Amino acid sequence: MTGLDEHLPILQILVPLFGAILTAFTRSGVLAWTIAAIASAIAPFISAGLLMRITETGKPISYVMGSWAAPWGIEYRVDLLNAFVLLLISLIGLVSIPYARKSVATEIDSHKQPWFYTMYLLCLSGLLGIVITGDAFNAFVFLEISSLATYTLIGLGRHRRALLSAYQYLIMGTIGATFYIVGVGLLYLVTGTLNFVDLAARIGPAMQEYPRPILAALAFMTVGISLKLALFPLHVWLPNAYAYAPSFATAFLAGTATKAAIYLLIRIYFSVFAVAIPFRQLPVTEIVLVLSLAAMFIASFAAIFEQNAKRMLAYSSVAQIGYITLGIALANKMGLAGSLVHVFNHAIMKTALFFALGAMAYRTGVLSLPSLSGIGRKMPVTTAAFVVAGLGLIGVPGTAGFISKWYLALGAIEHGWTWLVFLIVLSSLLAVIYVGRFVEIAYFREPSADLAGVREPPPTMLLPLLALAFTTVYLGFDTRLTGGIATRIAEFLLGGFTS
Amino acid sequence: MTGWEVIADHYNYYVTIFLMVAGLYIVIARGNMIKKLVGLGLFQTSVYLLYLSPGRIIGGTAPIIDERFSVYSNPLPHVLMLTAIVVGVATLAVGLALVVRISEEYGTIDEDEIFAKDEDQ
């Protein structure tokens, strides 16, 4: 197996990409799903293999495309940070796929189902590609592969507003990607390289001669990636896109798409620009901190007043992304570790929540909060799983969300900002309100007549949901995978930088 | 160097910036969805110029080693932009396909009218 072992980095992309080509030739939804399931099942093993090899050797894995040595050829470079995010994305793919079968079968016309799985696999390989590549331009190409697939996935929603949301996301997403590529172009003009490692080495000396293009490049890349990761106030595409996309697409994208963009931002700030330029020469800490706090509070308020359950969770996603960027803004060990932990935990919790809503939509066909009243009595297991993941979102001790917020609070204290800890707790109280509102509707109201005959979803939908709800609790106690690795990643990313 | 010479020396960048801002303006200011896509296309095209114009050296030739030539243009930006053009075409295709579907569902492709129709429901 040594031969195959060597090619793990490229197989990570090729397996889903090849699956996408195969599904494009099938005409049956079941066959397409089987191919998608096989590809999604192989991917996490490859990620886990990469992560294990890196933790054993402590050295990054470099894979050169077509034997063209870096920095001339495209290099796939996997270090602890990539491997961590790769594992997250491929795991979400793995738990999503059993769920997909029934959910997609009811929501997508049968002749479109093979194409739907093609888009899913393209999206998966694009997202994995963004994370694994060591080349700035290659990251753009993968960003666009995943984005184009995402627009299609969203546009396949049943409501006609899905088309409108997909169009709006296409406009904003393309502007974001183009801003990113303008930034890459400016960097290429002054350094002559596109390889992340090579860029990191050349930006320092180039900064003496051409400070302005480099700072402009940083600004372009920040805005471009922030559009993709839905940093407040560039999040306007997200609530509608998540609300009207098919249930499976929402759950999968909520766990993965924004996370890959966050990875790219962390890679640019901490590896390529080597921490000091963004955080010393530009007021990135202040800007991102203010935007993160705005996201945490304003988006949470929007969630509280939202009547559509999916939109409520979508606004909550914007708020939770605020926590992640908050840790990036702090740029210290605990803060950055908190960000990375929350990337993982939020993906698990939010996918679980959207799974639960998707299951409710599968049985009831509605998603407005008033019409879900009493759902807790009709679908007790699904609702209970929703509540567990919701508690995680709030950050109740004993759930994954508490660990994230604990790290972020430590980061704030490390920075000497105790007031920030207070704000983190205060914004969590807003999550108590919107999760609490759902609990009140689900348990303390009489089931409406529409819900007569509603029962638990089929096991293929229930089991992935329960697995994620269990993981939410498990990660609240065992933090070796999240906290342990995230702290190590934060240490090497900061490399002695003190803010 | 006077101000005019600086502008004349870097006129390619000024063209790039003009196209970029004009494209972005059209995307933001127009309500017609096709016009928005045209603006988006213009915005993306400006990036091609940003990459290509510094890659071309006056008097340079294609990078094929031959004793008759000593000055070569940088091939990499050209290759990158070939990829970017493909991405641009794909984006435009998906965008237009969505507009066709929106037109079928709503009977209009003007954003304000579409929002008004959804409000009525």
Q: pLDDT tens digits for A432-466?
A: 999 988 888 888 888 777 777 778 888 888 899 99
Encoded amino acid at A238, one letter: L
pLDDT tens sequence across A290-317: 999 999 999 999 999 988 889 999 999 9
Nearest-Cα distance to chain B for A170, in Å, is 7
Query: Which chain A residue's Cα is nearest to B13?
Result: A186
- Taking residues A195-203, what's their average pLDDT? 88
Measured CA angle at A498 (ends A493, A499), to 5 deg: 105
Residue B110, CB-side half-sphere exposure with 13 Å CA sphere: 4
Cβ B90–A164 below 8 Å, yes or no?
no
Cβ B94–A170 below 8 Å, yes or no?
yes
- Burial label, A301 (beta-carbon count in 10 A; 0-12, 13-18, 19+): middle
Query: Considering only CA atoms, which of A254, A272, A400, A428 is closest in space to residue A340?
Result: A400
Would you call A193 helix, strand, or coil by DSSP?
coil
Contact B92/A at CB under 8 A: no
pLDDT at A107: 84
**Which residues, 6 or more positions from A460, have their beta carbon under 8 angstroms from its beta carbon?**
A98, A99, A101, A102
Mutation site, B87, B99, B108, interface A, largest A CB count within 10 A: B87
Domains, chain B, in order of start with CATH, read 3-120 (1.10.287.3510)
Mutation site, B98, B105, B112, B117, interface A, largest A CB count within 10 A: B98
Considering the entire predicted model, what is its pTM?
A: 0.93
Task: Mark which residues 11-50 of B lie under 8 Å from A by CB.
Answer: 20, 24, 27, 33, 36, 40, 43-44, 47, 50
Structure tokens at A381: 């297991």
Mutation site, A140, A141, A158, A174, interface B, largest B CB count within 10 A: A174
Contact A163/B at CB under 8 A: yes
Query: Which chain B residue's Cα is nearest to A169?
Result: B95
C-alpha span between B112 and A207 (Å, rounded): 46
- Taking residues B5-9, what's their average pLDDT? 78
Phi and psi, residue A135, nearest 5° = -125, 130
pLDDT at B25: 94
Cβ A178–B44 below 8 Å, yes or no?
yes
pLDDT tens sequence across A348-380: 999 999 999 988 888 887 778 788 887 888 888
ipTM of model: 0.92
- Taking residues B44-50, what's their average pLDDT? 92
Residue A68 has pLDDT above 50, yes or no: yes
C-alpha span between A352 and A368 (Å, rounded): 18
pLDDT tens sequence across A179-195: 999 999 999 989 888 99
Structure tokens at A145: 């592969």
Cβ A178–B90 below 8 Å, yes or no?
no
**Which residues, 6 or more positions from A22, have their beta carbon under 8 angstroms from its beta carbon?**
A35
pLDDT tens sequence across A91-138: 999 999 999 888 888 888 888 889 999 999 999 999 999 999 989 999
Query: Considering only CA atoms, which of A287, A254, A409 is closest in space to residue A339?
Result: A409
Structure tokens at B7: 């502008």
Would you call B88 helix, strand, or coil by DSSP?
helix
Binning pLDDT at 50, 70 and 90, where does residue A1 land?
very low
Structure tokens at A364: 């009831």
- Taking residues A53-58, what's their average pLDDT? 86
